[in-house]
Amino acid sequence: MTIAASRKKTLIKKGAEANIYITNWYEKKAITKVRAVKPYRHKSLDTEIRRRRTFHEAHMLSVAKTAGVFSPFVYFVDPAACEIVMEFISGKNAKDIMNAGLSRQMGKYAGFLHSKNIVHGDLTTSNFIVGSRLVLVDFGLSFYSERLEDKAVDVRLIKEIYSSAHFALFESLFENFLSGYSDIMGERGTRKVLEKVSDIEGRGRYAPHVDEPKKFKHML
C-alpha cells in the first residue's frame, strides 16, 4: 500500500473522473483526489491514462501559481494510486456569494491563465473558493493552448453559468468579469476572445445566445 493510500479518507464527492476525499497529511487537513478506474478500458491502458492525467493536473496546479492565480498547493503525487494530495481550502463557494467585485477578480484569474496560454477547461463558479483569498480549484481538464477558441470556451462557460444560475445579476456579473479579464488581456485581446465567443454561439454549440453587457458591445 502506498503512503497516500494508507491514510484514512472521508469521501466528499464522487465524480465520473475522480473521487474527492478529506484526509490528514502530517497533521494538516488536506484534500486527496483519486482518479477513477474505467473498467471499459484495457487495464494497462487505463492505468497509464490515469497516471498521466494525475501528473498533468498536479503540474497545472503548480503552473497556475506562476501565472498569478492562487490554487491549492500540491503536497504529494502518488502515481501508483493515481492520487494527488493537496491543500484543503477553507472558505465559501463562489456560486453561493456572487457579487460584482468577486466576478471581476474571477475575470482577472481567467486573464492571468489565458495570458500564459493556460485553459482551465471547467471555469465555473463552483470551482472558485472564497476565503482569506480567492482560490481556483480543479485543474483536471486544464491544458495549454494558444487557440482563441479554447480560451473563448472558458469565457463562454462562465457566461452561461451567469445567465442560468445568476440570471438576475447577469449584466453586472459578466460586465465585471470582462472588466477584470480586460485588465490582464487588454482590450484587443478581450475583443478577439469575445468575437470567438459569438462565433461559437452562432454555430449553436451552446445554449441560446445571451447578449454581452452594453459596456462591451463595442468590442464585437
Q: Is 122 annotated in the active site?
A: yes
Residue 31: the pLDDT is 97
**For the chain, domain boundaries:** 9-87, 92-219
Pick the CATH number of 9-87 from 3.40.50.720, 1.10.10.60, 3.30.200.20, 3.40.50.150: 3.30.200.20
Entry pTM? 0.88
Comparing 31 with 6, the larger pLDDT belongs to 31
Distance CA 141, CA 3 (A): 26
Distance CA 147, CA 65 (A): 21
Mean pLDDT of 141-158: 98
Residue 5: the pLDDT is 57
206 to 173, 199, 202: CA distances (angstroms): 20, 11, 9
Q: Among 81-85, 107-111, 212-216, whose mean pLDDT is lowest?
A: 212-216
CATH 3.90.1310.10 fits 92-219, yes or no: no
Strand partners, 22: 10, 31
pLDDT tens-digit map of 31-90:
999 999 998 999 999 999 999 999 999 999 999 999 999 999 999 999 999 999 999 999
Confidence of residue 16 (pLDDT cuts 50, 70, 90): confident
Find the catalytic residue in 122, 154, 183, 199.
Answer: 122
Beta-carbon contacts of residue 28 (< 8 Å; ≥ 6 apart): 75, 88
* pLDDT value at 207 more than 70: no
**What does the DSSP assignment read for 26-49?**
TTEEEEEEEEPP-TTS-HHHHHHH
Tell which phi-psi region holds residue 117, choosing left (phi > 0), alpha (psi between -120 and 50) or beta: left
Q: What is the CA radius of gyration of the chain?
A: 18
Residue 178: count of CB within 10 angstroms of its CB: 27
Q: Which of 95, 59, 98, 97 is nearest to 79 (CA)?
A: 59
Q: Among 41-55, 162-176, 194-208, whose mean pLDDT is lowest?
A: 194-208
Question: Can you list the alpha helix ranges (DSSP code H) found in 4-87?
Answer: 43-67
